[in-house]
Amino acid sequence: MKCIMFDMDGTLIDSIGGWFGSCSYFLKDMNLEETEELKEMFKGKKLYARGIAIKEYYNLDLTADEIYAKNLKYVKEGYDDIYEPKENVIEALDYLKDKGYKISLNTATNIGLCRNCLERTGLIKYFDYIQTCDDCGYLKDDVRYYDWAIKKHNEEVDDIIFFDDTQAPLKTAKKRGIKTVLVYDPLTNGEYFDTTTEFDYKMDTISVENLKKIGL
């Protein structure tokens, strides 16, 4: 193995709660109640779709784009001042860097949203390159996202392994022949982490000990 691809949110950075909680902050600022019915409508939806649900549920005059922009403001504040690397991540990245692996950040998040966080936490120095969906023009459930990553690493696909906390990107990467590691996050995979056998490896935390267990 020569190259290691890391997702960001929920994998390296403890930010999923901020993404999920942004709608709660929005509703509170609007003096609107986050009902159990609305919470059910949120399940399985990304941030933009949650904004659409809020608009329809409360019949708001705001457009879905306006709601999304307001929610992103809360997320940006989290990246700027709050979100931190997950437990053991810094030590693990130091270990991988010392071992000479090529390391990339492969995220769906716009770099303008998260750059301050990467710089503030010191994570940015570990990456040989950063790939976002905006950069390559493909979502992470599109195999072409991984074609782009493989070309960027300039190595054989057998020499690449990908860490993520969600199923769709890992399944797509696996179709392309990339080794996959499901990283535990209670908000994104807590319901199926213990039972799934779809991926090459699973980690409850990205630690030096766990990396050694899979041969890194």
Distance CA 173, CA 128 (A): 19
Distance CA 64, CA 68 (A): 6
Distance CA 145, CA 124 (A): 21
- Same fold: 3-14+84-213 with 16-81: no
Topology (CATH level 3) of domain 16-81: DNA polymerase; domain 1 (1.10.150)
Asked if 174 contacts 164 with a C-beta cutoff of 8 angstroms, the reply is no
pLDDT digits (tens, 9 = 90+) for 116-140: 999 999 999 999 999 999 999 999 9
pLDDT score recorded for residue 104: 98
Percentage of the chain beyond pLDDT 70 is 100
| Mean pLDDT, the chain cut into blocks of 10 residues (216 residues total) | 97 95 93 93 86 94 94 96 98 99 97 97 98 95 97 95 97 98 95 96 98 98
Q: Which DSSP category does 108 fall into?
A: S
Distance CA 186, CA 16 (A): 9
CATH number for the domain whose boundaries are 3-14+84-213: 3.40.50.1000
Domain ranges, ordered by start, for the chain: 3-14+84-213, 16-81
Spatial CA neighbour of 162 closest among 190, 189, 131, 136: 131
pLDDT digits (tens, 9 = 90+) for 155-185: 999 999 999 999 999 999 999 999 999 999 9
What pTM did the predictor assign? Answer: 0.92
